[in-house]
Amino acid sequence: MTKTLRPIRVCLIMHSTRSDNLGVGALTVSEVAILRDLAARLGRKIEFTVFDWKDARTPYVSGSDIRIVDFGGKELLDPRKYFATARRSDMVIDIGAGDSFADIYGAKRLRRMFIMKYLAHLAGTPLILAPQTIGPFTRASSRFLARLSMKWSAVVASRDKLSTQAARDLGITNIVEASDVALRLPYDAPAPRAAEGPVRVGLNVSGLLFGGGYTGKNEFGLTMDYPALVRDIIRHFRALGCEVHLVPHVLVASGPMQGEDDSAASEKLAAEFPGTVIAPRFASPSEAKSYIAGLDFFLGARMHACIAAFSSGVPVIPMAYSRKFEGLFGSIGFTRTVDCTKETPEAILQKIRAGFEDRAAVKAEADAALARGKAKLLEYENALLAVMRGIRD
């Protein structure tokens, strides 16, 4: 008689089931989908415990195999519940909120990450760094702690070649260069529509950049007036007779993070340009991707809004404000990204115009790059599978 194995117990950290930033949420939805598939291949059930920040949004990751534990500053001061969960789990998987494993977002966020990583190490549970941006680390203390944690981790996966090099610069040689797990984000394909309608152009406007960054002092180092560039883009496509859709991807209704909200910027622009369409307030990352999949051309400054277009067959021009864009898209051979920290607004507009005029070529390039990205992501899945095969009853 075959013995029934217990479920594989997975603890997810630096993931979110309810983030207002749908890009962070897309990582969690995709990670869970990947792990469920792998467990099914092994003929085993799986149980997730997600240590999640206390956002007000209704969780968009659900199921009988999901347990969500509220986690915040208070719980970090007394992390016994997290430590106990990490200790009885078979794996702790840390995705670093996509790009937070770096100094660029401040010492407080990185310190919180190091506490959770080192508690997992102390618990003796294999720590897996899911595909994410690694670095830059500008402080000696950050470099030391990052190096040691990665050396102790069971799997270290980057999502781009720049991150791979950042890890190697710290002496980490055993690294899986994958791609973004959101390439696997589930969505509903759009229904066919009449060919004679106007071309639908989607534009994601970053509320963070529209307001000048976290401080209003352009700490991301943009080389242009971003609100002016966005207005010029809208004018250009409206003059061509296109139907312009403003697509917020970070939706913050209230609270201290409201400065990051894309909706307020989009509503302001829609008032200036009557007839412009504002996408609905999406309830989940998959709902956002399903909407984006119905557009004909897309551009934006939120990387995961661009990934949603890229991975659903929509020609896209990503508008970068950090190296993570070039790292991700460049690593899989997609070179249509424009760089708002280096290029002039005139050069960016010219590249956007050229991409729109040759949408078929952009789509073909994106489709080929997507195939490469999925192949690289398979390397991460194989590394996960190897760890999961070793989990006994």
DSSP H or E run through 128: strand 127-132
Calculate what percentage of the chain has a pLDDT beyond 90.
81
Average pLDDT over residues 2-15: 89
Prior bond to 315 cis, omega within 30?
Answer: no
Q: So where are the chain's domains?
A: 8-184+374-389, 200-372
Q: What is the pLDDT of residues 81-130, one digit of tens each?
A: 999 999 999 999 999 999 899 987 778 889 999 999 999 999 999 999 99
Instruction: Give the pLDDT score at 309.
Output: 98
Question: Residue 257: what pLDDT?
Answer: 65
Of 93, 54, 60, 59, the residue nearest 76 (C-alpha): 54
Q: pLDDT at residue 139 above 80? A: yes
Q: Are 135 and 143 in contact (CB under 8 A)?
A: no
pLDDT value of residue 95: 97
Q: What is the pLDDT of residues 236-278, one digit of tens each?
A: 999 999 999 999 999 987 665 667 899 999 999 999 999 999 9
The answer to whether the CB of 52 falls within 8 A of the CB of 71 is: yes
Quickly list DSSP for 301-330.
Answer: SSHHHHHHHHTTT--EEEEESSHHHHHHHH
Q: How confident is the model at residue 56 (pLDDT cuts 50, 70, 90)?
A: confident
CATH superfamily label, 200-372 = Glycogen Phosphorylase B; (3.40.50.2000)
The token duo for 110 is 């990185």
Query: Which CATH number is 8-184+374-389's, of 3.40.50.720, 3.30.230.70, 3.40.50.10680, 2.40.110.10?
Result: 3.40.50.720
What's the pLDDT score for residue 376?
96
Does 200-372 match 8-184+374-389 at the fold level? yes
pLDDT surpassing 90 at residue 154: yes
Per residue in 268-307, pLDDT tens?
999 999 999 999 999 999 999 999 999 999 999 999 999 9
Q: What separation in angstroms does the CA of 282 have from each of 14, 180, 183, 207?
A: 22, 21, 19, 16
